[in-house]
Chain A
Amino acid sequence: AQSVAQPEDQVNVAEGNPLTVKCTYSVSGNPYLFWYVQYPNRGLQFLLKYITGDNLVKGSYGFEAEFNKSQTSFHLKKPSALVSDSALYFCAVRALSGGYNKLIFGAGTRLAVHP
């Protein structure tokens, strides 16, 4: 079965410190992986994706993610957190069903960046 796990419900970081939001996946075939961010009372916004190529993917707002095939992980990172980064973050993996693509989302991780 294809699935995504985000092992932390919440991550707390001080402003200016590096942050990591964890994601592990289980998928058959090559993984297509995504990160989305959701601000309060808003829809999800696309941050970045890994399809193929470099294991370090750069995305919007200074975020990046590291793909690790041996550990089946796709952790989201940022070198220096901002208070405005506080939001709900979702990892997602592509799932093939009947020849069509769908996304399977993790449960989400709430990031709280403190001044």
Chain B
Amino acid sequence: NAGVTQTPKFRVLKTGQSMTLLCAQDMNHEYMYWYRQDPGMGLRLIHYSVGEGTTAKGEVPDGYNVSRLKKQNFLLGLESAAPSQTSVYFCASSYNGLAGVQYEQYFGPGTRLTVT
């Protein structure tokens, strides 16, 4: 099992450019998440998905879009990159987290994005 993988590992964008980050998991998890990690701020949830074809906003969704066309993949898009989106992005997945049940999340290795 590869677990959770992320593509690419590094990327440098110019302001206004667009890109898509790909997350894939082979654990048949229902839930998938996108976080950003900034120094001194921990991890902040951007968007999440509770199943194929469903997505929802997290704590800091502005400037990002997501899609979950296949259960194993969760894409994060930046339509017009801004320097404030310079960060490390982590994808995670977990088993079905119905209310009252919380399973641990499994994280990918991260994507380091710099927007100049």
Residues of chain A whose beta carbon lies under 8 Å from any beta carbon of chain B: 9, 32, 34, 36, 41-46, 49, 51, 90, 94, 96, 98-103, 105-108
Contacts and interface: CB of A to CB of B under 8 A. Distances in A.
A43 B110 contact: yes
A60 to B, nearest CB: 11
A44 B107 contact: yes
B109 interface: yes
Given A42-B109, A43-B4, A100 B99 contact: yes
B97 interface: yes
B86 to A, nearest CB: 17
Contacts, number: 63
B22 to A, nearest CB: 15
B40 A49 contact: no
Contacts of B102: 32, 49, 51, 94, 101, 103
A107 B42 contact: yes
B45 interface: yes
B90 interface: yes
A94 B101 CA distance: 10
Given A44-B90, A105-B42, A100 B50 contact: yes
Contacts of A41: 109-110
A43 B107 contact: yes
A108 B4 CA distance: 22
Contacts of B101: 101
Nearest to B6: A43
B62 interface: no
Contacts of A45: 107
B48 interface: yes
Nearest to B110: A43
Given A98-B56, A102-B58, A107-B40, A46 B105 contact: yes
B43 A43 contact: no
